[in-house]
Structure 1
Amino acid sequence: MIHEPMSRRLVVTFAAIGVVLAVAGLIARPVNISVAVVLFLIALGSLGLAGYGVLDRLLARRQQTKTQN
């Protein structure tokens, strides 16, 4: 089984989506708290995926440098 780390573009996309949804949640908070909570939860998931992608890329890079040395 071949494992490839998440692409940089995908990590940036998840991070951007998370930030946009978090800001949308802040804007929606005074109007409708239910919508704001849903937006925050989706933003949290998206930022979590971005964090996973960053960690995955770092571990793959570290493993690659170990095999080269």
Structure 2
Amino acid sequence: MIYEPMSRRLVVTFAVTGGVLFVAGLIARPANITVAVVLFLVAVAVLGLAGYGVLDRFVDARKRSRRAS
């Protein structure tokens, strides 16, 4: 099995989607608190995936730089 870090495009997609869901939660908050809470929870999950992807790419870059030296 060959391991590859998460692509930069996917990390950016997760980050933008999380941001959009967060803003949608802020907009939905006055009208329907249940929808807002669900949107916030999904936004946290998606932003967590983006954070994981950034960390994954960072660790992979460090491993590659250590192998090169």
TM-score (norm 2): 0.98
| Partner residue in 2 for 1:63 | 63
Q: Deviations over 1:8-33 (max 9, x none)?
A: 00000000000000000000000000
CA distance in 2, matches of 1:9, 1:62: 20
Query: Quick one: which amino acid aligns to residue 35 of structure 1?
Result: V
Runs of 4+, deviation exceeding 4 Å: none
What's the CA shift for 1:2?
1.6
CA distance in 2, matches of 1:24, 1:46: 14
| Partner residue in 1 for 2:41 | 41
CA distance in 1, matches of 2:64, 2:8: 17
| Partner residue in 2 for 1:32 | 32
Gaps of 5+ in 2: none
How many residues matched? 69
Please give the secondary structure, in 2, of the residue aligned with 1:5.
coil
Please give the secondary structure, in 2, of the residue aligned with 1:16.
helix
- Give percent identity, aligned residues only: 68
Gaps of 5+ in 1: none
TM-score (norm 1): 0.98
CA distance in 1, matches of 2:13, 2:43: 12
